[in-house]
Each structure stands twice: as structure tokens, then as C-alpha cells.
Amino acid sequence: MYDDGQVRPPYAGLEAWTNTMPAELRHLKQAEAEALFRRIGITFAVYGEGGDPDRLIPFDMFPRVFTGAEWARLERGIKQRARALNAFLVDVYGRGEIVRAGRIPAHLVYRNDAYEKAVVGFTPPRGVYSHIVGIDLVRTGPDQFYVLEDNCRTPSGVSYMLENREIMMRMFPGLFRENPIQPVDRYPELLRRTLASVAPMKCDRDPTVAILTPGHFNSAYYEHSFLADLMGVELVEGQDLFVEGEFVWMRTTEGPKKVDVIYRRIDDAFLDPLCFRPDSTLGVPGLMDVYRSGGVTIASAPGAGVADDKAVYTYVPEMVRFYLGEEPILENVPTWQCSRADELKYVLENLHDLVVKEVHGSGGYGMLVGPCSTKQQIAAFRAKIEENPGNYIAQPTLALSTCPTFVEQGIAPRHVDLRPYCLMGERIELVPGGLTRVALTEGSLVVNSSQGGGVKDTWVLAE
């Protein structure tokens, strides 16, 4: 909606739909959607909490809509950023030219907890470290988008992107006949093709792909099994794999089968107890030796997390200029690094106006939203920052755009963000759309499901 109450052109096709839907039908459809999510098994867990371990993420039926022209610009910016992030990873595990040139401080890279010395000097197939890049975007004006953060390891949520669309098509087929909505259902096919395209040096046949999961107690286990089913690949746990000779093998009822590409959904520290945490029971002993010798590809690569650190994030526009010789299409949110004395002083003096985040935090945890916090919360967070300044960055509270959302009283604006999923392999591809997350609490800026956020279907209209 515009400020004067007029419907924005992309939403014109939804005006009659909302105006003719009585509250009773809306409540009925909402209950139907929740029943479908529950029956399919789309749930998540919040670590450290009691109660329902299989919680539903709230689903809002009012879709978010982009024009084809809006999406075309976003797509160019997302691909540009993903290329720069991968070039950075190849560089910092190789010659480190960007550090030598003084374009990023050495300590942010080489003393970073996510920097893995075990892969220094190794370049993965096709020079791709981060095969699935999830870039979180917010809109602040008609033509203004900012990148909130980059997710270069194992960005989750794509199952919701796909199932949101499936459920909307099932409940409101007329909307898809009346509006030229671009499809997202090719994602599993594109993901499988991307993973197969980065098969290791020693693979001499059609590659075997497997998804490595921590197991059914993991909060994203549904997504792991969902993607395995849609791609037609095996879902395995560490105990299902073993190393023998120069390869990784999968235990099957018909005997061992060689695995060429592992789409891992476990953290670096748990991948190989012989290389990382010796107490890990989730990984595969000897996996890293096979990886470094070209016997298996791990996607995304160990060590990719150094590119999505929130302090490193501030230098991504510089990466675009340094590696690609281009100006960034998508802008960063202005960011203060608390490790710098002058910036720390400013942050501490303005906590009530800022959003402060842990450098390695995720899921909406470890952050302060100043305008929405009490004096006591701000004082407590101030003490944390003063104790370890380098662990925090701060950003202004942006005037985030809102999207029409169904609430108890009807339709109301709620803040949203967007996570598209960019696939990096032989090609760079992404489906038109992504996961729209919505802050369902009035005035809230936190969209994470672990913090009470919900999800929406994301439409990109064909031109």
C-alpha cells in the first residue's frame, strides 16, 4: 500500500481477492493451511526450550509481490555478491591478495573463529566454496534494498519457500490462473544440478550426491529429508558413511557405494573428528583427508563461514570492487564495528537508537533492538559490549518496508525481509523469489522464527 491508501501496482491482482474474502473464510483457510503444515511435518524446534518440540512456523496467506523489473535488479545484485564472496574465499585460503592490498584487516580474516586452517592452500572444484548463498535483504524505499547479512554455510528455510507456494496453489488456485506468477518448483532440480557440477577431481562417472544431516533431533531435519526426497538423493548421518582408501563410502543394503558430493548440513567443527572436534559423533573420520585429495566435494566447503561473519560483512562492497571491478548493485546497511574505539564510543552513546548484533550470532539471538528495549535491557547489553567490544557490530534501525498481512482484525502492515537462495556451481542460478519472513508482532523488526516470526509466499510477476 502507498501512504495515501492506494494499492501498489504489483498488488492490484490481490485487491478483489481480499475485498471479497469474508472473515469466516479467512479463518477457515488459515486453519486449513496450519493443518497442511502439520500433516506434511513442516515444523521446527527451538533449542533450550521446553514445550512443543515440533512447533509450526506461523504462515501468513497474504503473499509478498515483486514485479519482474524489481526482481531483475535484485537477481543481478545477488549474483554479483555471491561471485564476490566466493572470490574472497578462494583468495583468503590462497594468496590473500585482498589482505596484502590493505582492503580488509588481516585479523578479521586470519584470527576469525570461522577461518579453517585445515583448507589453506586447497581450492575446491570450480573454485566454489559457498554453493548455496542465502542473502538476507530488506527494503527501505520503492527502489532501495539493503543487505542485512550473508549466509555462506548452510542457509536454511528453502523448504518453506517451496511449501508456502505449494499450499497457496492448493488453497487458492484461482489466484495462480489470474496472476502471471513465476514458478519456484525448479529449485530442487537446480540444486541437484549445481551439486553434481562440482563433483571432485577423482569422479569419473555420474556423481553420487548425498545430504549429511545431524539427525532427526536437529531443528532443520524436516528440510534435510524434504530436499533429499525432492532431489532423489540419499539422506545420511555420519554413521552411514566411512572412509576407505581415497574415497568416502555409503553403507547400503547392497554393499558400499561411493559418494562423490556431500551436501553437509552440520557445522565445520563436527565434520571430521580426526581434523576438528575429536568428540564429534556426527561426522566421518578421515573425511577431510579425502576432501583435500580430491576424492569428495563438501558443499558448502569447510571454512566458508569466514565470508558471512558480521564484521567481514562490512567489507563485501569492497570485495565486489576488488575482485570484480564493479560497483555494488546492492548496498550494505551502514555498520559500526565495536572493535574500533571511536565507533564503540558512538555505539555506547546511542544504544537506544541502534540494533546491536553479535558478530557470530544467528537466529535473532544475541542482539539488541534499542528502540524496542527497556532501560534495564540496554544497561545489561552495554555491559556485554564493554566486556568484549570485538564481539559486536551495530547498525541503525532502518525504516523497513511493510507488507500487507492477515491479522485478527483484518489486514495490517507488518515488517518483512527476504532470503533468496543463490546456487553456485558450473552456473550461477536462483529461482524467482525466496523466503519472505514476517514479524507478526505489531512494530517488531525481528522476523526470525525462533523469535515469533512467520513466513509468506513470495511472488515474482512475469513481465
For residues 68 and 80, state if they share a domain: yes
Mean pLDDT of the region 371-395? 91
User: What is the phi/psi pair of residue 175, to 5°?
Assistant: -60, -35
Same domain, 349 and 251: no
Question: Is 165 part of a structural domain of the chain?
Answer: yes
Shared domain for 265 and 188, answered yes or no, is yes
3 within domain boundaries: no
Asked whether residue 248 falls in the same domain as residue 380, the answer is no
Determine the pLDDT at residue 2: 43
Least confident of 84-98, 207-221, 335-349, 443-457: 443-457
User: What is the DSSP secondary structure assignment for residue 181, as one 8-state letter?
Assistant: B
Q: Are residues 253 and 343 in the same domain?
A: no
pLDDT of residue 4: 46
In this model, does residue 45 exceed pLDDT 60? Answer: no
Q: Which tops the pLDDT comparison, 454 or 287?
A: 287
Among residues 87, 183, 68, 166, the alpha carbon closest in space to that of 126 is found at 87
How far out from the chain centre does Cα 169 lie? 24
Whether 249 and 306 map to the same domain: the answer is: yes
Which domain CATH number covers 379?
3.30.1490.270
Asked if omega into 300 is within 30° of 0 (cis), the reply is yes
Span 101-118, pLDDT tens digits: 999 999 999 999 999 999
Mean of pLDDT values over 385-393: 92
Please report which confidence band the pLDDT of residue 366 belongs to, taking 50, 70 and 90 as the band edges.
confident
Boundary-marking domain end, from 381, 396, 411: 396
pTM for the complete prediction? 0.91
Structural domain ending residue among the three candidates 346, 373, 396: 396
For residue 98, pLDDT beyond 70: yes
Domain total for the chain? 2
Q: Which amino acid is at 162?
A: L
Q: State which residues form the domain around 356.
A: 336-396
Q: With contact defined as beta carbons under 8 Å apart, do 195 and 427 qualify?
A: no
Count of Cβ atoms closer than 10 Å to residue 288 Cβ: 24
Strand partners for 242: 249
Nearest to 178, CA basis, from 14, 43, 39, 30: 14
Same domain? For 59 and 207 the reply is yes
Mean pLDDT of 123-144: 94
| Same-domain pairing of 356 and 301 | no
CB 445 within 8 A of CB 372: yes
At residue 361, φ and ψ (nearest 5 deg) are -75, 160
Does residue 4 fall inside a structural domain?
no
DSSP one-letter string for 96-162: -HHHHTTSS-HHHHHT-TT--GGGTT---GGG-S-SEEEEEEEEEETTEEEEEEEE-S----HHHHH
Q: Which residue has the cell 574415497?
A: 247
Query: What's the farthest any 2 CA atoms get from each other in the chain?
Result: 69
Q: Please tell me the predicted confidence (pLDDT) of residue 3.
A: 45
Do 367 and 439 fall within a single domain? no
As given in the structure block, the three cell numbers for residue 200 are: 571432485
Q: Which of 396, 424, 446 is the last residue of a domain?
A: 396
Q: How confident is the model at residue 410 (pLDDT cuts 50, 70, 90)?
A: confident
pLDDT at 365 over 80: no
Let me know whether 292 and 373 are in one domain: no
Q: Which position has the higher pLDDT, 398 or 214?
A: 214
pLDDT, tens digit, 9 for 90 and up, residues 29-43: 999 998 888 887 766
- Check whether residue 161 and residue 173 sit in a common domain: yes
Strands 410-419, 435-438: pairing is antiparallel
Whose grid coordinates read 493443518?
Answer: 35
Q: Is residue 1 part of a domain?
A: no
Q: Is the same domain home to 412 and 266? A: yes
313, part of any domain: yes
Q: Which three cell numbers stand for residue 182?
A: 513465476
